[in-house]
Structure 1
Amino acid sequence: MNHAERTSNQEPIVEFRGVWKRFGALEVLKDINLAVGRGEVVVIIGPSGAGKSTLCRTINRLEIIDEGSILVDGKPQPVEGKELYKFRAGIGMVFQSFNLFSHKSILDNVTLAPRKILGQDKARARDNAYRLLDMVGIRSKADAMPAQLSGGQRQRAAIARALAMDPKVILFDEPTSALDPESTQEVLATMQQLAGQGTTMIVVTHEMSFARSCADRVVFMADGAIIETAGPEAFFTEPESERARSFLASVR
């Protein structure tokens, strides 16, 4: 089954409908309409200040939108309280800064939310954490503290932590921008592996090689708007807009 068949006959997992977001007089998101299918990898690229990270952060209400609606798994976002807490638990997030608890071991970082929020017992949470740490290549670091790991290892721990909640979708907001080239490659390899396993991913990144090799669709943003959306081959070889052509020329 090809990707289009896999996603076309299902409700989108994330859907933006006419979304606007303002910071004072500045419009940072302008009439965003976008649907992301289950199992799809959507990579969002564009110049700095395009609104990419803001778009990512609106999905779990880290940023509140001013107009329009965002549906996750067919349902509108809860506004506050327990429902919002539960809603956020179903969305994985991996940021530039790893946001690991510095006073807890890597194993404890990965098991904390499944135990507290999903109510998993200790043994099950540990077994699952070891499996995920093995998958991202850092099982040997389970008992280490975050400060003892390289940046790339910490980011892979953050990915394992996100996966431990069995999320509907994982949001990656420039996950390699704080890393050196070697660590960047480690993290991108892990993300590539996830993409191959059918994980639904929305990725904001400057890594064009990842967009080209792993995306099902590339979304190009500039000045708060989606300028064009295409498959990676079409986008990188024949972008439709002048704005995308000049952006690609600048990153090449």
Structure 2
Amino acid sequence: MPEPLIELNAVNKWFGSLHVLRDVNLTVDRGEVVVVIGPSGSGKSTLCRAINRLETINSGTIIFDGKPLPEEGKQLARLRSEVGMVFQSFNLFSHLTILENVTLGPIKVRRESKAVAKERAMKLLDRVGIGNQADKHPGQLSGGQQQRAAIARALAMQPKAMLFDEPTSALDPEMVGEVLDVMTSLAVEGMTMIVVTHEMGFARHAAKRVVFMADGELVEQAPPAEFFDNPRSERARDFLSKVLQH
């Protein structure tokens, strides 16, 4: 068996007295797309953020590519360059052009030459469909375009895995599809992905596995067809009955 790329063992996290992750065990294989769904406040975003150590955990272990997550310093910077992260808000630098946003990490962190970084950035911007927007600033782009720029920026670091924390929840409905299309193409190409989302269609079509969380616990996980057609837990059935009516 090849070893998984991401492994969480008995992970616990508290915010004060609130127990947001409760003994979470999860493994994600290389090239696997895992979609995490569940009600608000179930710990999904915290789980995502713990994997690249934007949140520290109180107990348990998280292993990435065979090594425990580093505490801080250079190793942590390296980890963050290997685990791309896309947030609800686009987190682009407003004073830089889209091209500058995408080349910043490779030049500063990876010490790439500007020419190499620019060439890859342009290919990525073309790939996410906004190559013609490279010289604009984020404020001149639609939300969907900004989010696609954020995905290109994460990909520019050539990560081993991508984490998406509700990447479409801040977008107008007509822009959601263009971002999900980019994510679906990444999934097809074999990128290891953990996606926290409310987009059930994406979960059904792009995920290899759906993980359902509630109250900080990983309640159940199954391939999409099995999960959506025959959820095993009362919590998942209740959740699906609410979200699939819309």
Per-residue CA distance 1:95-115 (angstroms, 9 max, x = gap)? 000000100000000001001
Which residue does 1:70 correspond to in 2? Answer: 62
Offset of residue 11 of structure 1: 1.0
Offset of residue 86 of structure 1: 1.6
Per-residue CA distance 1:19-48 (angstroms, 9 max, x = gap)? 000111111000000000000000000000
Matches within 5 A, 1:104-119: 104-119=96-111
Offset of residue 119 of structure 1: 1.2
1:218 and 2:210 matched: yes
Taking the aligned partners of 2:138 and 2:190, their CA distance within structure 1 comes to 28
Offset of residue 57 of structure 1: 0.4
SS in 2 for 1:96: coil
Which residue does 2:115 correspond to in 1? Answer: 123
Which residue does 2:11 correspond to in 1? Answer: 19
SS in 2 for 1:79: coil
1:181 and 2:155 matched: no
Which residue does 1:153 correspond to in 2? Answer: 145
Taking the aligned partners of 1:86 and 1:138, their CA distance within structure 2 comes to 28
Aligned-partner residue type, residue 162 of structure 1: A
Which residue does 1:4 correspond to in 2? Answer: none
1:190 and 2:179 matched: no
Instruction: Report how many aligned residue pairs link the two structures.
Output: 244
Taking the aligned partners of 1:10 and 1:81, their CA distance within structure 2 comes to 29
Taking the aligned partners of 2:77 and 2:187, their CA distance within structure 1 comes to 26
SS in 2 for 1:34: strand
Overall identity of the aligned pairs, in %: 64
**Structure 2: runs of 5 or more not aligned:** none
* TM superposition outliers: structure 1 runs of 4+ over 3 Å: none
Which residue does 2:241 correspond to in 1? Answer: 249
Aligned-partner residue type, residue 35 of structure 2: V
Which residue does 1:32 correspond to in 2? Answer: 24
Candidates 217, 224, 229, aligned match of 1:232:
224
Offset of residue 181 of structure 1: 1.1
**Structure 1: runs of 5 or more not aligned:** 1-8
Offset of residue 85 of structure 1: 1.4
Coordinate RMSD, CA, aligned: 0.6
1:139 and 2:139 matched: no
1:61 and 2:53 matched: yes
